[in-house]
């Protein structure tokens, strides 16, 4: 248990960063929870405080290690999404290298380096399998849901929970924490528990925490008082929706754009093409798709106006899993206009003038996401190549 005088690692970290660290008497996984990466989203922090206080009196039942960390400390203290720059958009290798060499750091860059040091220390000193969970809430009303980068280890673990799953958001966002962790090969799940100040968001995060620890086998179901009540909590809040969706569009807020979402929209609400959703610089913004609205922005900070998602058919998910299993993408480079960009075979380079009929949906089936498009060339990164599947091969959910 972490108190005001102890720290979970050898590095010099502010103790208020650590909500709790628990060490079980038996070997097991390492589960690391982040909360408050955005400072106006305190529900995850509150939930972790409650769950880990409960478990701290019963460490004899735990297996492995549990860490619960606060994210953006100063932004949390002020109730703001961020102070200088969004902490959940800084986690790229290029940016981390740049920040590490800077002399004068922005507030969120300081937070980035502290969290990165602690992350490195934990993965170095603890044993796997590793699980990383990042808690968030939204500015609009929403069902609770999971976001993942689409690797099979993430997808299979996410399916343990009775809430909808959204794939592909990393194709539209640069530098989320979980994308960085996925590049290290670990299971990394984002859980959006509800609207920012809704007490239901705390209850959903509590339920998700217990279910995570049971799914990772840090706890047994019988170790959690009335475990089924946590399952029912998420089922009820998610309105029994357990589909898998994919992001098909993001309305970006650029520079000094004056963006305003029209009132009354909710995340996962069905919309039709042509529906007016917002105004941008006082001009109407209409949906270009039939689908579901996702995370409409009802706060001052943030550059993601709204997303649109669509349900992925079951047959496509099964085909996707099969094609990845047989590694059919290794044959792509036999096609004209397609080749590996590097010897590590993580990034495909597609010449659109030659391979113009190779649509993104095909690559999505195989776990590829667009990383860069510069007119003629499409570059796609595959999460499967980095996944540490052997680490999870003996896990019950795999």
Q: How far apart are CA 257 and CA 315, in angstroms?
A: 40
Residues 205 and 176 in one domain: yes
Both tokens of 388, joined, read: 């540490």
Is residue 37 a part of any domain in this protein? yes
Q: Which residue's entry shows tokens 């010449």?
A: 351
Q: Are 1 and 21 in contact (CB under 8 A)?
A: yes
CATH code assigned at 105: 3.40.630.10
Is residue 208 a part of any domain in this protein? yes
Q: Where are the alpha helices (DSSP H) in the chain?
A: 43-56, 73-78, 93-100, 107-125, 152-158, 177-183, 199-215, 227-237, 314-325, 360-365, 383-386, 389-392
36: left (phi over 0), alpha (psi -120 to 50) or beta: left
Q: Tally Cβ neighbours within 10 Å of residue 116.
A: 17
Residues 123 and 192 in one domain: yes
Q: Tally Cβ neighbours within 10 Å of residue 34.
A: 27
Residues 270 and 333 in one domain: no
Q: Where are the alpha helices (DSSP H) in 326-368?
A: 360-365
Residues 117 and 253 in one domain: no
Residues 329 and 286 in one domain: no
137: left (phi over 0), alpha (psi -120 to 50) or beta: beta
Cα–Cα distances (Å) from 156 to 149, 165, 284, in that order, read: 12, 11, 40
Q: Which of residues 237, 255, 279 is at a domain's end?
A: 237
pLDDT recorded at residue 373: 62
pLDDT recorded at residue 334: 81
Both tokens of 122, joined, read: 């934990």
Is residue 39 a part of any domain in this protein? yes
Q: How far apart are CA 328 and CA 342, in angstroms?
A: 18
The shares of helix, strand and coil residues in the chain, as percent rounded to the nearest 5, are 35, 25, 40
Residues 50 and 70 in one domain: yes
Is residue 395 a part of any domain in this protein? no
Is residue 79 a part of any domain in this protein? yes
Q: How far apart are CA 393 and CA 398, in angstroms?
A: 6
Q: Are 184 and 124 in contact (CB under 8 A)?
A: no
Instruction: Give the SS3 label for residue 207.
Output: helix
Paired sense of beta strands 347-351 and 377-382, if any? antiparallel
CATH code assigned at 275: 2.40.50
Residues 207 and 282 in one domain: no
Give this prediction's pTM: 0.89
Both tokens of 128, joined, read: 């796997």
Is residue 154 a part of any domain in this protein? yes
- Give, for all 398 residues of the chain, the pLDDT tens digit: 333 333 333 334 445 899 999 999 899 999 999 999 999 999 999 999 999 999 999 999 999 999 999 999 999 999 999 999 999 999 999 999 999 999 999 999 999 999 999 999 999 999 889 999 999 999 999 999 999 998 999 999 999 999 999 998 888 888 999 999 998 999 999 999 999 999 999 999 999 999 999 999 999 999 999 999 999 999 999 999 999 999 999 999 999 999 999 999 999 999 999 999 999 999 999 999 999 999 999 998 989 999 999 999 999 899 888 988 888 877 878 878 888 877 767 778 888 777 665 556 677 777 777 666 666 777 777 778 789 999 999 999 98
Q: Which residue's entry shows tokens 């391979």?
A: 355
Residues 126 and 31 in one domain: yes
Residues 290 and 212 in one domain: no
Cα–Cα distances (Å) from 197 to 116, 143, 193, 194, 309, in that order, read: 28, 14, 11, 8, 24
Residues 38 and 92 in one domain: yes
Residues 359 and 298 in one domain: no
Q: How far apart are CA 187 and CA 119, in angstroms?
A: 14
Q: Is the dihedral of CA 263, 310, 304, 242 positive or negative?
A: positive
For residues 359, 363, 365 and 369, what is the CA-based torsion angle, rounded to 10 degrees? -120
Is residue 10 a part of any domain in this protein? no
Is residue 393 a part of any domain in this protein? no
Q: How far apart are CA 178 and CA 170, in angstroms?
A: 9
Instruction: Give me the number of domains the chain comprises.
Output: 3
User: Longest Cα pair distance anywhere in the chain, in angstroms?
Assistant: 63
Q: Which of residues 216, 237, 258 is at a domain's end?
A: 237
Domain containing 169 equals 15-237
Residues 287 and 343 in one domain: no
| Contacts with 258 (C-beta within 8 Å, 6 or more apart), sequence order | 279, 280, 281, 282
Q: How far apart are CA 253 and CA 298, in angstroms?
A: 13
Q: Which of residues 287, 311, 335 is at a domain's end?
A: 311
């Amino acid at each position: 248990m972490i108190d005001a005088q102890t720290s979970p690692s050898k590095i010099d970290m502010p103790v208020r960063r650590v909500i709790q660290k628990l060490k079980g008497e038996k070997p097991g996984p390492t589960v690391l929870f982040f909360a408050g990466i955005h400072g106006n989203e305190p529900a995850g922090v509150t939930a972790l405080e409650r769950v880990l206080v409960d478990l701290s009196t019963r460490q004899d039942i735990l297996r492995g290690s549990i860490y619960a960390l606060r994210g953006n400390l100063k932004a949390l203290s002020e109730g703001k999404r961020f102070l200088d720059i969004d902490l959940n958009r800084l986690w790229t290798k290029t940016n981390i290298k740049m920040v590490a060499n800077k002399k004068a750091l922005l507030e969120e860059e300081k937070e980035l380096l502290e969290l990165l040091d602690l992350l490195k220390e934990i993965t170095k000193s603890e044993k796997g399998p590793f699980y990383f969970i990042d808690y968030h809430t939204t500015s609009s009303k929403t069902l609770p849901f999971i976001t993942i980068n689409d690797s099979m280890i993430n997808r299979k673990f996410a399916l343990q929970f009775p809430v909808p799953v959204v794939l592909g958001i990393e194709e539209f966002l640069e530098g989320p924490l979980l994308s960085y962790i996925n590049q290290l090969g670990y299971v990394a799940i984002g859980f959006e528990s509800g609207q920012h100040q809704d007490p239901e968001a705390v209850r959903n995060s509590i339920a998700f925490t217990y279910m995570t620890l049971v799914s990772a086998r840090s706890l047994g179901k019988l170790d959690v008082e009335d475990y089924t009540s946590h399952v029912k909590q998420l089922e009820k809040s998610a309105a029994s929706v357990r589909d898998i969706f994919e992001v098909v569009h993001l309305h970006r807020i650029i520079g000094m754009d004056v963006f305003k979402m029209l009132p009354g929209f909710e995340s996962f609400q069905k919309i039709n093409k042509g529906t007016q959703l917002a105004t941008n610089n006082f001009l109407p913004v209409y949906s270009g798709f039939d689908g579901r609205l996702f995370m409409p922005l009802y706060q001052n900070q943030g550059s993601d106006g709204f997303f649109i998602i669509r349900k992925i058919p079951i047959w496509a998910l099964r085909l996707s899993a099969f094609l990845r299993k047989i590694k059919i993408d290794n044959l792509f480079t036999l096609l004209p206009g397609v080749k590996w960009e590097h010897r590590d075979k993580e990034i495909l380079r597609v010449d659109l003038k030659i391979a113009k009929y190779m649509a993104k949906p095909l690559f999505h089936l195989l776990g590829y996401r667009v990383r860069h498009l510069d007119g003629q060339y499409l570059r796609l990164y595959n999460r499967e190549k980095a996944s540490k599947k052997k680490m999870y091969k003996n896990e019950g959910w795999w």
